[in-house]
């Protein structure tokens, strides 16, 4: 596939955007600018199209997406039982960088909302996105157009870096105006609350609408991290390849002193610096700059909060491209949204970022055993690995399946009994890429293991049955996890309990190996 970049530098946007709008309606992926960041757009009513978003981004399926509309005319197509506060806030802030969490309508597929009964909706304030959404005439999901976990895209070139020849269209509207994602406001809580900080603050909402809302710092709950209703809560985001370190100081002198201290600390590293232009000029009078070792990306000291927010993601990408080992980024404590993104981009100052290893569970159809195993594994190890320098995550796939099938109803129900929701799961066909990227591969049966040994002989050493991995059994003694498909719910419950036992043993084996 060759990506077509459409430069929107004409007044005749409607004619220019006819083709990508038609592509959106037909289920293709279109990247486009909003006032916040570039979005990776797909028809929200087309499950296959939405699934492609998750696959392209490498996005976890329990991370919900935001639905974009041009205006409130079709809000009842995506949400129901809409509270009066929505209409008040819409009049005060929309179109604009404010996202509403509402009760989901039956038309919105579960994959959009990660199986939750809520949906996030916003109305972007940007000519290209407004025109495209009107022409497409369908709700559009549009998460930030970047690989999952990486800095968001604020230029069309950023989208090309991550998705060149993987999507059919990128609409180039230049640099985005704001540079940070929208504020997410939960209107399903007893008291409205901010789930993700953005340019619009709780104080501004009170001032312009009269509605009292909890700020991000006040409202965040543990449950929000376990089953997030908003993007940006559970997973590490916005991170470049380089380590990011915050530069702090109550005044310019303190800031420069900290910068000089850190520069001296990393004398053997390539350094990137993201700081205001005035402070950088002052530093040049105090410190000998080695231009072969230090790269800069500066923002305006005249409007530091606006400028730093607008340029943060572009700076992280540019300094990565300059091959920085460490990026030193100025902290702005009063800029809540900026600091939220910067903090997520930072590894702890005194430790390296934890290595993430993947275990791939494989069964036949990826609707029963392997998704249950992956969900059980991820839930179990979440409490077991917070201080580990080697993090584990589980994925799942099927040998004989098609992409996009939901988990079986009994699989969903028996996991809900233990507090795990996989309603948003969609099946994934096993690929060579998945096999190569996994640290270990755990099949449900010996036949599946043997088949993979034949298909991928170079990967043989890391492919075993779950029983072999979990209990150190010899290959000929490994027990199979029998397929419960089309059997009674009680059989699924037995499968769940067996998988849970094996996963506890597997975790012990993994940690024994890492300590050996």
The verdict on residue 279 lying in a domain is yes
The verdict on residue 121 lying in a domain is yes
State whether 56 and 121 are in the same domain: yes
The pLDDT of residue 15: 93
State whether 455 and 494 are in the same domain: yes
Closest by CA to 166, choosing from 79, 326, 65, 56, is 56
As beta bridge partners, residue 363 has: 398
pLDDT along the chain (516 residues), means of 10: 89 92 96 97 95 84 87 95 96 97 94 90 96 97 91 96 94 96 93 93 95 81 46 58 86 87 87 95 89 94 95 96 94 90 69 67 95 92 59 89 88 92 86 88 94 90 93 72 93 96 89 49
Q: Among 313, 345, 377, identify where a domain stops.
A: 345
Q: Is residue 475 within 8 Å of 481, Cβ to Cβ? A: no
State whether 36 and 127 are in the same domain: yes
The verdict on residue 402 lying in a domain is yes
Q: Is residue 38 within 8 Å of 180, Cβ to Cβ? A: no
Is the pTM higher than 0.85? The answer reads no
State whether 297 and 395 are in the same domain: no
Q: Among 161, 196, 226, identify where a domain stops.
A: 226
Q: Among 179, 195, 226, identify where a domain stops.
A: 226
The verdict on residue 233 lying in a domain is no
State whether 104 and 250 are in the same domain: no
Question: Which tokens belong to 95?
Answer: 């179109």
The pLDDT of residue 239: 77
Q: Which domain holds residue 318?
A: 243-345
State whether 339 and 361 are in the same domain: no
For residue 280, what is the domain's CATH number?
3.40.50.11030
The pLDDT of residue 427: 86
In the block, residue with structure tokens 């275990």:
359
State whether 181 and 249 are in the same domain: no
As beta bridge partners, residue 442 has: 361, 464
The pLDDT of residue 1: 83
The verdict on residue 186 lying in a domain is yes
The verdict on residue 232 lying in a domain is no
| Cα end-to-end span (Å), the chain | 46
State whether 22 and 102 are in the same domain: yes
Number of residues that this document lists for the chain: 516
SS3 242: coil
State whether 315 and 363 are in the same domain: no
As beta bridge partners, residue 245 has: 328
State whether 83 and 201 are in the same domain: yes
Q: Domain total for the chain? A: 3
Contacts of 4 (CB under 8 A, 6+ apart): 168, 169, 170
The pLDDT of residue 478: 72
Q: Is residue 465 within 8 Å of 446, Cβ to Cβ? A: yes
Helix or strand holding residue 164 (H, E): none
The pLDDT of residue 219: 62
The CA distance from 422 to 370, in Å, is 12
For residue 511, what is the domain's CATH number?
3.40.50.2300
């Amino acid at each position: 596939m060759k990506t077509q970049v459409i430069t929107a530098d004409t007044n005749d946007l409607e004619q220019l955007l006819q083709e990508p709008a038609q592509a959106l309606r037909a289920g293709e992926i279109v990247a486009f600018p909003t006032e916040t960041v570039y979005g990776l757009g797909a028809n929200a009513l087309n499950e296959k199209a939405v699934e492609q978003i998750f696959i392209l981004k490498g996005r976890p399926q329990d991370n919900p997406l935001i639905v974009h509309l041009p205006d409130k005319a079709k809000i009842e197509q995506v949400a129901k039982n809409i509270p009066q506060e929505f209409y008040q806030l819409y009049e005060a802030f929309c179109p604009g960088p404010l996202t509403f969490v509402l009760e989901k309508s039956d038309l919105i597929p579960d994959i959009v909302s990660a199986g939750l009964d809520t949906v996030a909706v916003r109305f972007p304030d940007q000519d290209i996105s407004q025109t495209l959404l009107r022409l497409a005439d369908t709700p559009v999901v549009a998460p930030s157009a970047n690989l999952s976990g990486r800095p968001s895209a604020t230029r069309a070139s950023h989208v090309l870096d991550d998705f060149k020849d993987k999507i059919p269209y990128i609409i180039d509207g230049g640099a985005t105006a704001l540079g940070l994602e929208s504020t997410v406001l939960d209107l399903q809580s007893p008291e409205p609350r901010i789930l993700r900080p953005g340019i619009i603050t709780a104080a501004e909402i009170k001032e312009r609408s009269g509605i009292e809302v909890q700020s991000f710092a006040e409202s965040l709950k543990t449950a929000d991290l376990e089953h997030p209703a908003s993007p940006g809560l559970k997973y590490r985001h916005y991170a470049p390849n380089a380590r990011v370190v915050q530069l702090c100081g109550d005044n310019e002198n303190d800031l420069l002193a900290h910068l000089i201290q850190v520069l001296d600390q990393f004398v053997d590293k390539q350094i990137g610096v993201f700081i205001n232009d005035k402070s950088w000029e002052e530093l040049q009078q105090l410190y000998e700059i080695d231009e072969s070792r230090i790269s800069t990306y500066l923002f305006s000291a005249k409007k530091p909060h606006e400028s730093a927010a607008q340029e943060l993601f572009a700076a992280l990408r540019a300094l990565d491209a300059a091959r920085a080992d460490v990026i030193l980024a100025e902290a702005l404590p009063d800029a809540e949204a900026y600091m939220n993104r910067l903090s997520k981009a930072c590894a702890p100052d005194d430790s390296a970022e934890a290595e993430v290893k993947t275990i791939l569970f494989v069964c036949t159809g990826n609707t029963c055993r392997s998704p249950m195993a992956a969900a059980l594994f991820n839930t179990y190890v979440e409490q077991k690995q917070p201080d580990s320098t080697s993090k584990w995550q589980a994925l799942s796939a099927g040998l004989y399946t098609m992409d996009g099938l939901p988990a079986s109803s009994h699989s969903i129900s028996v996991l809900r009994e233990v507090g795990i929701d996989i309603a948003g799961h969609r099946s994934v066909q096993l690929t060579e890429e998945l096999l190569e990227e996994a640290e270990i591969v755990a099949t449900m049966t010996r036949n599946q293991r043997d088949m993979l040994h034949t298909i991928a002989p170079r990967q043989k050493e890391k492919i075993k049955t779950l029983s072999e991995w979990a209990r150190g059994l010899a290959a000929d003694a490994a027990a199979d996890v029998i397929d419960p498909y089309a059997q009674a719910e009680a059989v699924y419950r037995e499968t769940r309990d067996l998988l849970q036992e094996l996963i506890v043993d597997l975790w012990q084996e993994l940690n024994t190996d890492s300590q050996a």
